[in-house]
Structure 1
Amino acid sequence: MKTTRVMMSAVLFLCFLVVLVGCGNNSAGSSNDKTLTVLVEGGGPAFEVANKTAAKFEEQTGYKIKIDSVPYSGVYDKLKAEIDAKKSTHDVAIIDVLWFPSLAKGLEPLGNVLTEEQMNDFLPQLSESATINGELLGIPTWTNSKILLYHKDLFEDPNNQANFAKEFGYALKVPTSWKEYEDVAKFFTNNGMYGTSVFGQTGGDAVSSWLDHVTQAGVDSLVLDRNGEVNITEEPYIQSLTFLQNLVKDKVVPEDYLSIASSETAELFNNGKLAMQLAWGHFYLSSDKVLPGRIGAAPMIAGEKGVGAVPGPWYQVVLKDSQKKDIAEQYLKFMYDQNELYMESLGVAARKSVFEKYIDIPQYAHVKAIEATLDGAQTQNRPQIEQWSQIENEVLSPMLQKVLSGSDPATELTLAKEQIEEILGR
Structure 2
Amino acid sequence: MRKILVLNLAFLSLLLMILTGCNSSSGDKDKSLHVLVEGGSPALEVAEKTAAEFEEQSGYKIVVDSVPYSGVYDKLKAEIDAGKATHDVAIIDVLWFPSLVDGLEPVDDVLSDEEQVDFLPKLEDGAIIENTLYGIPTWSNSKVLIYRKDLFADEKYKEEFEKEYGYELTVPTNWQEYLDVAEFFTRDGMYGTTVYGANMGDSVSSWLDHAAQAGAQPLVIDENNNVLIDQEPYVKSLEMLQELVNDESVPSETLAIAASETAELFNDGKLAMMLVWGHFYMSSSEELPDKVGVAPMIAGEKGIGAVPGPWYQVVLKDSNKKDVAKEYLKFMYEKNEEYMKSLGVASRASVFEKYEDDESYLHLNAINTTLEGSQTQNRPQISEWTQIENEVLAPMIQRVLSGADAQTELIEAKEQIEEIIGK
Shorter chain as normaliser: what TM range? over 0.9
Query: Is residue 8 of structure 2 the alignment partner of residue 9 of structure 1?
Result: yes
Pairing 1:97-246 to 2, within 5 Å after superposition: 97-246=94-243
Pairing 1:21-420 to 2, within 5 Å after superposition: 21-27=20-26, 30=27, 32-420=29-417
Equivalenced residues, count: 423
Instruction: Name the amino acid aligned to 1:128.
Output: D
- TM-score, length basis structure 1: 0.98
Secondary structure at the residue paired with 1:123? coil
Whole-Å Cα distance in 1 between the matches of residues 172 and 133 of structure 2? 38
Instruction: Name the amino acid aligned to 2:218.
Output: S
Unaligned 5+ segments in structure 1 are none
Unaligned 5+ segments in structure 2 are none
Whole-Å Cα distance in 1 between the matches of residues 54 and 286 of structure 2? 32
Q: CA deviation at 1:31?
A: 5.4
Whole-Å Cα distance in 2 between the matches of residues 128 and 206 of structure 1? 23
Whole-Å Cα distance in 1 between the matches of residues 224 and 304 of structure 2? 24
Aligned-residue CA RMSD in angstroms? 0.9
Whole-Å Cα distance in 2 between the matches of residues 195 and 258 of structure 1? 17
Q: After the TM superposition, which parts of structure 1 deviate over 4 Å for at least 4 consecutive aligned residues? A: none
Instruction: Name the amino acid aligned to 2:30.
Output: D
Instruction: Name the amino acid aligned to 1:48.
Output: E
Secondary structure at the residue paired with 2:362? helix
Secondary structure at the residue paired with 1:394? helix
- TM-score, length basis structure 2: 0.99
Secondary structure at the residue paired with 1:67? strand
Q: CA deviation at 1:373?
A: 0.2
* CA offset digits 1:52-91 (Å, max 9, x no partner): 0000001111110000111111110110011011110000
Secondary structure at the residue paired with 2:35? strand
Q: CA deviation at 1:26?
A: 4.3
Q: CA deviation at 1:226?
A: 3.6
Whole-Å Cα distance in 2 between the matches of residues 422 and 32 of structure 1? 50
Whole-Å Cα distance in 1 between the matches of residues 333 and 11 of structure 2? 51
Secondary structure at the residue paired with 1:101? helix
Secondary structure at the residue paired with 1:93? strand
Instruction: Name the amino acid aligned to 2:108.
Output: G
Whole-Å Cα distance in 1 between the matches of residues 241 and 14 of structure 2? 77
Identity among equivalent positions (%) equals: 64
Instruction: Name the amino acid aligned to 1:19.
Output: I
Q: CA deviation at 1:360?
A: 1.1
Q: CA deviation at 1:32?
A: 4.8
Instruction: Name the amino acid aligned to 1:151.
Output: R
Secondary structure at the residue paired with 1:37? strand
Whole-Å Cα distance in 2 between the matches of residues 174 and 26 of structure 1? 65
Instruction: Name the amino acid aligned to 1:372.
Output: T
* CA offset digits 1:221-240 (Å, max 9, x no partner): 00012422001000000000
| Aligned match of 1:18 | 17
Q: CA deviation at 1:11?
A: 1.6
Whole-Å Cα distance in 2 between the matches of residues 168 and 358 of structure 1? 38
